[in-house]
Amino acid sequence: MILHLNTAHTWRGGEQQLQYLVSGLEKRKIPQIVAGQPGSELEKRIASSRFFPVRMRGEWDIFCIKKLANIIKSEKVKLIHAHTAKAHAIALYVKLVCPDVKLIVSRRVDFHIGRNFMSRWKYINRRIDKFLTVSGKIRDILIEDGVDPEKVITVYSGIETSRFEKKVSTAHLYKEFNIKKGTVIIGNVAALVDHKDQATLLKAVSLLPSKLKFKVFIVGEGELENDLKQLASALKIEDKVVFTGFRNDIPELYKFFHIFALTSKEEGLGTSVLDAMANSLPLAVTKGGGISEMVEEGQGGFLAEVRDSVQIARILEAFIKDPALRKRYGAFNKKYVERFHVKNTVAKTVMIYESLLGPF
């Protein structure tokens, strides 16, 4: 039995990847359960027969550690797969009670390990059997920071390309946002937080010729929403930028876009880029984190240095002016993204499980 452990209340890329993995393992009839926060988005989207609600208030929550240990014993769990940073720490404490259970930790961010004792203890720890990093960039960082290279394996995040195959009308979006036909739509789908760096995108927009007919849609919510809106106002580009907030119609929005832009300073991999590729969109992106591992420069998109708003502006201008260029790059991405199909992610993850547990 596999136990997936996730401490998130909200729904972001990591939770989507967990849902894909659970679905893929189910198809292979691999026994698994999921422990997560009561009332979380994850609980709503995972079958109740497999989901165990466990209140996890923090890494030092003794009560949740005891409850998880009881679940492990009653369900005969052989391996814990921790999918968040807090789940990583909690799982280590659980292993003090259940030393025989194997432990895999997924790492999705390209931050260096903190230098304090607790951070070092979490990563340079013999109780962890494997780290799964979603990009080669993250693997390099963990090894640089002292993690045993033998324990670190890159397993790229994947997407379910069929999710975007259904043909949908976007007429209602043009009406909702009062967009005139012929307007080139640039999309950015990401949390409004510092490392996603939408500020660089806004600065790039301010550098574009005013005569160009385009709109930028920034889709998502987060702590920097007001700051970004104030920046757009200061740059005098409010008429060019739409902040949509949280949306439930992401697949439809990708069909609405003509160009996808992501200007992250740091990024584990950035599965929104993969979603854009699956929707035949050309890419205007930075080299933050693992983004460059997904993008074929000069065929599917162009890469700018982190925080380089001037280069992003040049890329956007080229795509806005040239529909044929957009079409050619988008068509390349539609085919290229298949190498990041979630079935490949599941297959490699199963191979790693079996290296620790034997064949299922």
Is the domain of 42 the same as that of 106? yes
- Looking at the 3D structure of the chain, how many domains does it have? 2
- Band (208; pLDDT cuts 50, 70, 90): very high
Q: What is the CATH number of the domain that holds 268?
A: 3.40.50.2000
Residue 97's Cβ-side half-sphere holds a number of Cα atoms within 13 Å equal to 16
In 3D, which of 103, 161, 108, 116 has the Cα closest to residue 137? Answer: 108
pLDDT tens, position by position, 73-82 = 999 999 999 9
- Band (248; pLDDT cuts 50, 70, 90): confident
Is the domain of 179 the same as that of 149? no
Distance CA 222, CA 257 (A): 22
Residue 59 pLDDT more than 90? no
Backbone angles phi, psi at 34, to 5 degrees: -125, 130
Is the domain of 141 the same as that of 251? no
Distance CA 356, CA 127 (A): 13
Could you tell me what percent of the chain has a pLDDT over 70? 100
Is the domain of 116 the same as that of 9? yes
Residue 160 pLDDT more than 90? no
Is the domain of 215 the same as that of 72? no
- Band (330; pLDDT cuts 50, 70, 90): very high
Residue 217 pLDDT more than 90? yes
Is the domain of 122 the same as that of 225? no
Give 38-56 as a DSSP string. TT-HHHHHS-TTTEEE---
Rounded to the nearest integer, the mean pLDDT of the chain is 94
pLDDT tens, position by position, 12-42 = 888 999 999 999 999 999 999 999 999 999 9
Residue that the structure tokens 């999921």 belong to: 34
Is the domain of 125 the same as that of 223? no
Is the domain of 266 the same as that of 226? yes
pLDDT: is 61 or 211 the higher one? 211
What pLDDT is attached to residue 75?
A: 96
Is the domain of 278 the same as that of 239? yes
Cβ neighbours, 10 Å, residue 283: 25
* Backbone CA torsion sign across 9, 99, 65, 138: negative
pLDDT tens, position by position, 93-137 = 999 999 999 999 999 988 899 888 888 889 999 999 999 999 999
Q: Which of 31-40, 226-235, 286-295, 305-314 has the lowest mean pLDDT?
A: 286-295
pLDDT tens, position by position, 267-296 = 887 889 999 999 999 999 999 888 999 999
Is the domain of 176 the same as that of 154? no
Instruction: Please check whether residue 326 is in contact with residue 259, taking contact to mean a CB–CB distance below 8 angstroms.
Output: yes
Residue 331 pLDDT more than 90? yes
pLDDT: is 270 or 245 the higher one? 245
Is the domain of 44 the same as that of 86? yes
Structural domain that includes position 295: 161-339
Query: In a 3-state reduction of DSSP, which class is residue 119?
Result: helix
- Band (176; pLDDT cuts 50, 70, 90): very high
Is the domain of 267 the same as that of 213? yes
What pLDDT is attached to residue 58?
A: 81
Distance CA 237, CA 235 (A): 6
What pLDDT is attached to residue 120?
A: 85
Q: CA dist 157 to 15, 107, 133, 282, 339, Å?
A: 11, 11, 9, 20, 11
Could you tell me what percent of the chain has a pLDDT over 90? 84
